Chain A
């Protein structure tokens, strides 16, 4: 039974991957008209991706979703708003500060800032700029999850937060240095990693299910959306201050 289930999952993961393979092969053969250099590693790599995706989904349903939901229920029963908000902030901050995509983008941003004469050309100045940027983004994600959880509990409509966030983005853009705008906009998208998303989604949906008068579909989603919005504002503020 379990074996069959896993084989089915492997097959599904393979189907998920077919479009990428098709795009790569079609472009390589028909448009660029060059043979593929390393067929063996392409096949091996594809098998790894399929296996990895299947294992991930399996673990997701067995571990990440139940943990996120169990914690949401436990906090809802405990009724301690203070600890729930602390947890929300820690989850957002902790998962973002170590995010590899963010580390990469922060060091690139430091290069840009140094070339644009915003900061000194030394490597110390660059690394402190990059670290500052990472902490800024992590703080903004922590803040976003905290406010998002508060929204689910209080039952505020999601679009209040989103419109507020958009207004922040639009208001900050004219003041931010031109070099930082592209990075700021992109940093919103890279903050939410593969493990954070299932946990945060399960937390939101679990809270909305556990609290009376909330609908998991209407109120449960939206944490990630707000968490990808606040970094844009915070990074532009950071760019103005530096």
Chain B
């Protein structure tokens, strides 16, 4: 128990250290530039402590439960014993890694749903859109995007196709969709690309990428292991824009069928 308490205090201290620059900037500008006291200092301070404690507990829990297991699974799924092949004798095809793609997609989907940053943006979007955008709908659209992106990213590591091919095609798709999507969703869709990959997703996905690049012959973990995060930030933009387009198209159709 005492050991754990010490460990937890270290986690809390580390969180405080990470937050320190932000606190300094906010307090500095509040005092020196805005020169007005906060509206509700006590409530704000308590809320800030909640945030610190929350992040510390969150990271501690992830370290205890999910990260060791998830990383171990990423390793086991990519090991040659599990795949039942000898990488030196047998020519691997991309189908060999079927379970890796399934795992990549499911873990991408599940971790994104629990991502605190995405939760924050979804809450805000629901608030200011007056409920037109549902927090859950947005989060599921983003999660599907991440699932697809990471599965495709593992496929890329296995096949060794150049990263930029996918990224450039993805961007072109985003540009085309931007031209046709309803205007109010565009900023939110672009933002949801950036917020998907933080606390929960990055460590697990990085472990998966590095493990896979080590397991697949002729891949350099240093070069091919990276890039999954880029996939996970690109595809949610496509799915969120698609989600809005679908919603707009359906409401248009129901309107025209009524008249």
Contacts and interface: CB of A to CB of B under 8 A. Distances in A.
Interface of A: 16-17, 19-20, 22-24, 26-28, 31-32, 34, 36, 41-67, 70-71, 74-75, 78, 80, 83, 87, 90-91, 94-95, 97-101, 111-112, 115, 158-159, 162-163, 166, 169-170, 173, 178-179, 181-183, 185-186, 188-199, 201-202, 205, 209, 215-228
B97 interface: no
A100 to B, nearest CB: 6
A49 B226 contact: no
Contacts of B163: 181-182, 185
A201 to B, nearest CB: 5
B20 A98 contact: yes
B21 A98 contact: yes
Given A53-B54, A61-B123, A71-B30, A217 B129 contact: yes
B2 interface: no
B22 A199 contact: yes
Interface stretch (B60-68, B84-92, B249-257): B60-68
Contacts of A34: 76
A62 B124 contact: no
Given A19-B109, A24-B73, A46 B61 contact: yes
Given A24-B69, A71-B34, A48 B58 contact: yes
Interface in B89-116: 99, 103, 106-107, 109-111, 113-114, 116
Contacts of A54: 54
Contacts of A24: 66, 69-70, 73
A185 to B, nearest CB: 4
A220 B186 CA distance: 11
B18 A98 contact: yes
Contacts of B180: none
The 3 A-B pairs at the shortest CB distance, nearest first, are namely: A45-B65, A63-B47, A48-B61
B87 to A, nearest CB: 19
Given A28-B73, A49-B58, A51-B57, A41 B187 contact: no
Given A16-B113, A32-B77, A219 B50 contact: no
Given A55-B50, A189-B233, A224 B124 contact: no
A117 B175 CA distance: 37
B184 A218 contact: yes
B59 interface: yes
B29 to A, nearest CB: 5
B188 interface: yes
Residue picked from B65, B73, B77, B117, most chain A C-beta under 10 Å: B65
Nearest to A112: B222
A20 B58 CA distance: 14
Contact of A62 (B47, B114, B121): B47
